[in-house]
Amino acid sequence: MVKMNSSRTALFLIIFGLFQLAFSVLSAFPPSRKRIGRVPLWNATLVDKLKQDLLLNYDKFARPTQHTNVTTVRFGMEIKHVEVNEFKSTVTIVGWTRLVWSDDKLKWETENYGGVGMFHVAPHEIWQPDLVLQNSATTTGVAQDSVYLLVYNAGEILWVPTSTFPILCEFNFEMWPFDQHRCKLIIGSWTYHSDHIHLEYDGNELKKIVNVRNSDGVLDWNITDFEYLTNSRDFCCGNFYPTLVIKFTLQRITNSYKSLILTPLIVVIVLTLLSFWLPPKSEEKILLNLITISVIVALMLYFAQKLPALGNNTPLIVKFYASALIITTLSIINAVLIIYLSKTPRKYPIPWILRNVLIGRLGIYLGLSNYITQANLGNQRNKPLENQDSFHSGKYQEDWILLAAAIDRISFLIYTIIFIILISKHTV
């Protein structure tokens, strides 16, 4: 039994010694380290070799030039579509943005890479200027997609992403629908000062006139008068940030509004003034004025749908129709008075002084010749006898009709003058 235990102990010591020997041998060799550098690729192309040489240790968060140098970023754009939202005071411009800058880290000799002078990179691979739309209504980024950038051997970077610029614009509806508005895009760097980045406009000039169509394909606006300004803005602590301002004018196309606005305007004026030329006893005076009020109310409802409720300025055309509504209401009151004077039987004549004025030159100038003749004939026909003590009811009705017609003509002149004043002040 003692001999068997001794054999097991000896075997254990031998195995332990072998493990210790193997550990010592392995410890004598240093551990293998991961090689830093370009890793050969299977079937690698010259572009693969070029990108690995340039981008292996590239820091995309550092501006690619010395801190004492200024990176010039050239900005250009081409407008493809514009959408105007008058209720939200926003203008959304969709187009192609063109950005060009120089990257000192991405330069190479073309002969060293088989004549390769350009390659593509994704936006997340290299540094880009942090340009934002500073007067944006929603998003602030200039680029809205991840299209590739073009890198040229001289270090020039070209990036042409599609962009959407939802800008805030202060609308003035005072001259609606013949209005125009001055808007602007303010594009600038978010974190780099003017000592780091310089912005300038470059590329194709924007068209002098850009047509804006709505969803139905109808032309609604023209964009004109482009102006480009570059400056620096001090947001805080004396740090100036580069900005590029593109100003433009939105001009509404009024072809579809002329007939819609001007035709009811003429109808309102004609119907209101025509009611004064109807015979004094005619009850159609009230009907014409009610039709006029209906037209004005319909137009006001239309304006409520087309215009923002909280606009900066009330359109002049709305003020005109609001004034016309008051005038037409007064015209109805005037018509009721005229009908009452001409239809109600009278026992007594109108004051003789007033009658003499109406049958004189004033009546002729007012176009009351027919009514003057009728009043004179009626006065002679109804002249009382010497022994007659009283007159029958309605004997002087023609005189009162003459007075009602005179009030109509004078009201016509007053209303005409009022409409002329309203048109001169409240229309274009």
The CATH number of whichever domain residue 206 belongs to comes to 2.70.170.10
Residue 367 or residue 342, greater confidence: 342
**Residue at 16 is within a domain:** no
Q: Residue 286's domain spans which residues?
A: 257-384+391-426
Instruction: Specify whether 279 is located in the same domain as 402.
Output: yes
> What average pLDDT score do residues 214-219 get?
49
From 253, 270, 305, give the residue that closes a domain: 253
Question: What is the reported pLDDT for 378?
Answer: 54
Q: Which residues contact 187 (CB under 8 A, 6 or more apart)?
A: 75, 131, 132, 133, 134, 142, 199, 243, 244, 245, 246
Instruction: Specify whether 233 is located in the same domain as 124.
Output: yes
Cα 51 to Cα 65, 153, 160, 292, 367, distances in angstroms: 19, 12, 21, 77, 96
Closest alpha carbon to 316 in 167, 324, 108: 324
Number of domain units in the chain: 2
From 192, 223, 253, give the residue that closes a domain: 253
**Residue at 2 is within a domain:** no
**Residue at 39 is within a domain:** no
Residue 334 or residue 352, greater confidence: 334
Q: Which stretches within 278-426 are classed as H helix?
A: 284-306, 316-343, 352-358, 361-365, 369-381, 397-426
Instruction: Specify whether 238 is located in the same domain as 277.
Output: no
Question: What is the reported pLDDT for 391?
Answer: 42
> What average pLDDT score do residues 47-60 get?
90
Question: What is the reported pLDDT for 159?
Answer: 92
Q: Which residues contact 213 (CB under 8 A, 6 or more apart)?
A: 219, 220
**Residue at 41 is within a domain:** no
Over 90: is that where the pLDDT of 94 sits? no
Over 90: is that where the pLDDT of 316 sits? no
Residue 237 or residue 204, greater confidence: 237
Instruction: Specify whether 238 is located in the same domain as 261.
Output: no
Question: What is the reported pLDDT for 231?
Answer: 76
pLDDT-derived band at 386, boundaries 50, 70, 90: very low
Instruction: Specify whether 116 is located in the same domain as 175.
Output: yes
From 253, 288, 313, give the residue that closes a domain: 253
**Residue at 20 is within a domain:** no
